[in-house]
Amino acid sequence: MGKIDLHPLTIDGRDPAILRGDPITGDRYTSRDFMQKEWDHMWTRIWHVAGRTAELEEPGDYIVHDFMHESVFCVKQQDGSIKAFYNACRHRGMRLVNDASAANAFQCPYHGWVWGTDGVLQYAQDAHDFPQGNPCGTLRLKELRCATWGGFVWYTMDDTAPELLDYLAPMPELYKNYPMDTAVRVFWMKIDLDTNWKFATDNFSESYHTRTAHPQVPPWIDQDVDTARHEMYPGGHGRTVQPMRPSLSDRLPDGMPHPFDYILRQWDIDPDVYPDYETKAMQGWLDLKAAKRRLWRERGYLHYEHMDDEEITDSPHTVMFPNVTISFLPDNLIFFRTEPHPDDPNKCTFDLWCMAFPVEGQTEVESIMAGRQPLREAEMQHRAFDNGRGVPEIEGQIVYQDMMLAEGQQRGMHSRGYEDAYLTGQETRVRFFHEVLNDYLEGRR
Ligand code: FES
């Protein structure tokens, strides 16, 4: 493999020397005061994902994003742009919409005011009876800044926040080769979990847990710490780039069918030509790149057109501060997000969106988090985790294994025996995440 040019914003994600060493104490996961600080100083200042641009095709299409006690809706405009509004009637505060749909205007269910899709009041009963003057045509719903990237619709409650692309930097540049707008959300589940939202960002910021929690992964994604790249960026984001080839230190027993053999055969490579396991893992991975380069067009993998040699075989697992993780895979995107419960720091919701890049001729896709799915936009399913019983469709999947651990860790965070994390170098991003969070809470950002 050639030398990788790191983005100039990249910070070494295994070097704790660049950190202050702020302790990751249990109260950060359990305290209502801390939760309130996160709302006051962080959640009201970052960019949130409201949904997919594919949900807003026609003027009047809208999506709703409830976040803690707040609610925002985003509406497609006649000119093709998207506006975001607080979901509260300016008359006396009534919530205007509940679920995504389409509308020509929004009529408030309380006193019947009608708001245009552009947020301007169109109708109020007894419009002459306002001492302050008729509000129709002038009063507007309170608007938020809205922008798109990656096929996602984002908004921020902060008028002074950086532009979305600056906030996300350098992600838009790093992932410019992926046709993210065309990804189809083939599986969409929201799961109520009894753990603090930060569990997921912590968990997705390291692969140290993989061998224990996900023993099925090392045979096809190299989990060896020294072969991955661990990167952090000043905005609080980070990623681990792992080669999608067998880890040399995790061999399946001889005679057991190997998932890498299956991948090689898919691209016309005979796994039996390699003299030994090491050669198959290392040379087979290079041969796989070459085969994909040679065959992508005739196989209908048109999304490979602009992707580089790393992107067509490997897996950059990416956390965008504070709560969005996207696993970029050659043919899939997996979006994970946790959001806090409105009142209880011991609870959150976990969003799992499995997205696939369409391949010509394929009507089904293989999602590594949700198994085989038809290639079409999925409906959202909302479930309680219930110790795994609530989500049988994903039992045994990687993300299910993470969730099975989450609630136990949350209980441990309440213990007097837990004081601070005792981290490996490869978990540096975990403390980095908490330090960036502290920067928000303590007014340094
Ligand atoms: Fe909306 Fe009265 S609260 S019309």
What pLDDT was estimated at residue 255?
82
358-368 pLDDT tens trace: 999 999 998 88
| 111 Cβ closer than 6 Å to some ligand 1 atom | yes
Counting from 1 in the atom list of ligand 1, the atom nearest the Cα of 94 is: 3
| 114 Cβ closer than 6 Å to some ligand 1 atom | no
Distance (Å, rounded) from C-alpha 394 to C-alpha 398? 9
The dotted CATH code for 11-45+165-441 is 3.90.380.10
Counting from 1 in the atom list of ligand 1, the atom nearest the Cα of 89 is: 1
| 88 Cβ closer than 6 Å to some ligand 1 atom | no
158, two tokens: 């902060």
Tell me what the pLDDT averaged over the chain comes to.
Answer: 96
Distance (Å, rounded) from C-alpha 356 to C-alpha 367? 8
Tell me which of 113, 125, 126, 136 to substitute to probe ligand 1's pocket, judged by most ligand atoms within 8 Å of the beta carbon.
113
| 125 Cβ closer than 6 Å to some ligand 1 atom | no
| 89 Cβ closer than 6 Å to some ligand 1 atom | yes
Give the residue extent of every domain in the chain.
Answer: 11-45+165-441, 47-160
| 92 Cβ closer than 6 Å to some ligand 1 atom | yes
Yes or no: say if 21 and 431 are a contact pair by the CB < 8 Å rule: yes
Task: Give residue 315's identity as a one-letter amino acid code.
Answer: S
Residues 6+ positions from 226 with CB-CB distance below 8 Å = none
Ligand 1 centroid to Cα of residue 158, in Å, is 25
| 354 Cβ closer than 6 Å to some ligand 1 atom | no
The domain defined by 47-160 folds into Rieske Iron-sulfur Protein (2.102.10)
> Helix, strand, or coil here: 58?
coil
Instruction: Report CA-CA distances (Å) from 402 to 141, 176, 209, 240, 394.
Output: 40, 29, 9, 17, 11
Distance (Å, rounded) from C-alpha 35 to C-alpha 17? 28
What pLDDT was estimated at residue 434?
98
The model carries a pTM of 0.96
What pLDDT was estimated at residue 367?
87
Yes or no: say if 207 and 228 are a contact pair by the CB < 8 Å rule: yes
Distance (Å, rounded) from C-alpha 153 to C-alpha 441? 25
Tell me which of 86, 87, 89 to substitute to probe ligand 1's pocket, judged by most ligand atoms within 8 Å of the beta carbon.
89
In the chain, which residues have pLDDT < 70? 1-3
What pLDDT was estimated at residue 1?
42
196-232 pLDDT tens trace: 999 999 999 999 999 999 999 988 899 899 999 999 9
Whose CA is closest to atom 2 on ligand 1? 111
What is the number of H-type helices and E-type strands within the chain? 10, 21
Ligand 1 centroid to Cα of residue 112, in Å, is 6
Ligand 1 centroid to Cα of residue 111, in Å, is 5
What pLDDT was estimated at residue 395?
95
Ligand 1 centroid to Cα of residue 110, in Å, is 5
Ligand 1 centroid to Cα of residue 75, in Å, is 20
